[in-house]
């Protein structure tokens, strides 16, 4: 782990041996001078959404630091930090704040130890869910194989059952892939390997990926002029989320209709909107559509190969990137999904 020195603060304000010690720590580190001026930070501090422009963002952390400054007694505990300015995504951090009395400095150690416990709980629930979901296509394949054997002297029946087997096998393959995708999302933190990404380029690539499906279903794809902004995150996950929204819109739209993709910005947030002219979503289902394996129309999901995981993946990606997903819908009119993310800003940059 390397440490970064704040430009405003001379290195001489802390003893060199301290830097050597901090470089060996596995935890994220924040070293503060009097006045809560940042002397050094580890790279992970920025990803934890703890600081911005040299200021500590977390009121809870600030309160602990002030207690340590006032009393000289080291403190430890846990704090919750939002993953971004919007959405429900939070991170629970274990914090230890240490007073370095000689230099009137404060050392803050942070670690995301709660993530392991959360992943364990998610995996347990996830295994229970997928066990149920996998039974359907596997059971169908078993029955169809028996039907093929019993109809081996009837070519027309064999062809019919074999075709059904192909459909079920394809559905099973897609379900397993979606399960793998969601499992990876739940096990990883995209902000640990994040990079600035062009929103326009992400949308263009996602549209290209969906072009074949849209043409096969006779659905038009229109992309409005893109807002030239960047977001901070994992390119694979963000691309997957946008792709899922577009593909979902295609699957639930009648032939010869249009799916439109547009962007807008407001208050350092970029919104990627995907609107269709499809069947719409009943109001009673709007709160549940982002649940794992939930399907508004199971029959249509079977027809299109839907797994019930696409929108759940979008919600996970949004939360992990400090964003959110919203939906507006009217039956027999269409739906609009809004994928909202914080705009990436370089230090000192202000978006107009």
Which residues face 222 on adjacent strands?
260
Per-residue pLDDT tens over the stretch 74-123? 998 888 888 888 887 788 888 999 988 766 888 888 887 655 555 556 56
Q: What's the topology of domain 114-187?
A: Helix Hairpins (1.10.287)
Same fold, 4-112 and 189-352: no
Q: Let me know if domain 189-352 sits in CATH 3.30.565.10.
A: yes
Predicted confidence at residue 31, as pLDDT, reads 84
Q: 258-266 and 220-223: which strand pairing?
A: parallel
Residue ranges of the domains in the chain?
4-112, 114-187, 189-352
Say which DSSP state 110 is in: E
Helix (H, G, I), strand (E, B) or coil at 155: helix
User: Mean pLDDT score of the chain, rounded to an integer?
Assistant: 78
SS3 content of the chain, % helix, strand, coil (to 5): 45, 25, 30
Most confident option among 44-53, 153-162, 188-197, 270-279: 270-279
CA distances for 58 relative to 84, 90, 171, angstroms: 12, 12, 45
Place of tokens 């704090």: 79
Predicted confidence at residue 36, as pLDDT, reads 83
Is residue 214 within 8 A of residue 170, CB to CB? The reply is no
Strand blocks (E) in the chain = 4-5, 28-33, 37-41, 51-52, 55-56, 75-82, 90-100, 105-111, 195-198, 220-223, 230-233, 258-266, 269-275, 324-330, 334-342
pLDDT exceeds 70 at position 270:
yes
Who has greater pLDDT, 258 or 288?
258
Predicted confidence at residue 220, as pLDDT, reads 92
Q: Hey, which CATH number is domain 4-112, 3.40.50.1860, 3.30.450.20, 3.50.40.10, 3.40.80.10?
A: 3.30.450.20
pLDDT band at residue 188, thresholds of 50, 70 and 90?
low
- Is 0.85 surpassed by the pTM of this model? no
> Where does residue 119 fall: left (phi above 0), alpha (psi -120 to 50 degrees), or beta otherwise?
alpha
Is residue 47 within 8 A of residue 30, CB to CB? The reply is no
pLDDT band at residue 3, thresholds of 50, 70 and 90?
very low
Most confident option among 4-8, 134-138, 303-307: 134-138
Counting every residue written for the chain, the total comes to 352
């Amino acid at each position: 782990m390397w440490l970064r020195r704040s430009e405003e603060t001379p290195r001489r304000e802390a003893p060199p041996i301290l830097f050597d010690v901090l470089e060996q720590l596995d935890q994220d580190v924040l070293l503060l001078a009097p006045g809560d001026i940042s002397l050094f930070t580890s790279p992970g501090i920025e990803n934890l959404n703890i600081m911005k422009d040299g200021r500590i963002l977390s009121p809870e952390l600030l309160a602990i630091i002030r207690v340590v400054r006032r009393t000289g007694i080291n403190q430890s505990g846990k704090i919750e930090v939002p993953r971004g300015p919007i959405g429900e995504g939070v991170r629970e951090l274990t914090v230890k704040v240490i007073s370095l009395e000689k230099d009137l400095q404060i050392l803050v150690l942070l670690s995301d130890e709660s993530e392991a416990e959360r992943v364990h709980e998610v995996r347990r629930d996830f295994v229970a869910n997928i066990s149920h979901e996998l039974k359907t296509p596997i059971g169908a394949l078993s029955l169809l194989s028996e039907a093929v054997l019993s109809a081996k002297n009837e070519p027309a029946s064999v062809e019919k059952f074999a075709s059904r087997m192909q459909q079920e096998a394809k559905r099973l393959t897609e379900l397993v892939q979606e399960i793998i995708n969601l499992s990876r999302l739940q096990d990883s933190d995209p902000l640990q390997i994040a990079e600035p990404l062009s929103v326009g380029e992400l949308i263009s690539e996602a549209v290209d990926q969906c072009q074949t499906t849209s043409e096969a279903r006779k659905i038009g794809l229109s992309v409005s002029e893109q807002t030239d902004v960047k977001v901070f995150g994992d390119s694979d996950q963000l691309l997957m989320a946008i792709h899922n929204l577009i593909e979902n819109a295609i699957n639930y739209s009648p032939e010869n209709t249009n799916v439109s993709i547009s962007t807008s910005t407001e208050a350092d947030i970029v919104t990627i909107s995907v609107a269709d002219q499809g069947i719409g979503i009943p109001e009673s289902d709007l709160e549940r559509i982002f649940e794992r394996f939930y399907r508004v129309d199971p029959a249509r999901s079977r027809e299109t190969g839907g797994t019930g995981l696409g929108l759940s993946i979008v919600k996970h990606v949004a939360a992990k990137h400090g964003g959110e997903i919203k939906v507006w819908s009217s039956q027999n009119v269409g739906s609009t999904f809004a994928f909202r993310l914080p705009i990436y800003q370089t230090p000192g940059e202000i978006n107009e």
